[in-house]
Amino acid sequence: MIFWMWFWCVTALSALLEVMLGTGGLALPCLLVAAFYFAVIRPWRRVLFPLLIAGLSVDLLFCRSFPCHLVMLPIVVMGAQYWRRYGELRTVIVQALPGLGVGMVAGLALLLYMVFRQGAAVLFDVRWCVLWVAGQGLGGAVLLPLLCWVGDRQARLLAVRRYAQVSPYQIQLEEYGSTELPGGEEPADE
């Protein structure tokens, strides 16, 4: 219960921060970074639907005709699953790499939205397009290590699972139950 209250508070704050900065002219992938963080520490089936609701609310607040977060969030959650299984979770500074990926996904998806909304005239200024995607990537590369550092300190105080201590086997047991594993194998009793 404590985790879900913490999850909703962080998700709501990241969505609010993204909207506030976006209306001020600074576009940062705050909600996508929070989605990556929570998709690593919890099974994706439990966090995807609430994150889609939060993403849809951000798209509605920006009055987008196409809900971009409904496209970006599944990609980010799949990347989080891959990073949890094969990435380095213990070092905070290394989290800039997946943060860069999250920002690039956000930058490319929003650039495609602008192309479809305003036409191909957006692509005529190539420097602006490159700077847009690079700025989104840089924003994600800064925000994810910051969220990992702050979020793990909050998680330690709340006594919930921390980002730096996640193991793929732990999530697998939580997702499939303690007696059944994917493939039908039973865990070995000692």
Read off the pLDDT band of 184 (50, 70, 90). Answer: low
As a whole number of angstroms, the distance between CA 137 and CA 107 comes to 7
Q: Which residues have a Cβ under 8 Å from the Cβ of 163 and sit 6 or more positions away?
A: 37, 40, 41, 89, 148, 151, 152, 155
pLDDT, average across residues 123-143: 90
The predicted pLDDT at position 190 comes to: 45
pLDDT surpassing 80 at residue 168: no
The predicted pLDDT at position 1 comes to: 84
pTM (predicted TM-score): 0.86
What does the mean pLDDT of the chain come to? 87
Phi/psi at 186 (5° precision): -95, 140
Q: Which residues have a Cβ under 8 Å from the Cβ of 81 and sit 6 or more positions away?
A: 39, 44
Q: Residue 2: enclosing H or E segment and its boundaries? A: helix 2-23
The structural domains of the chain, with segments of one domain joined by +, span 2-173
As a whole number of angstroms, the distance between CA 63 and CA 70 comes to 14
E-strand stretches of the chain: none
CB-CB contact of 139 with 151 (8 Å): no
**Per-residue pLDDT tens for 31-89?**
999 999 999 998 888 999 999 999 999 999 999 888 999 999 999 999 999 998 888 88
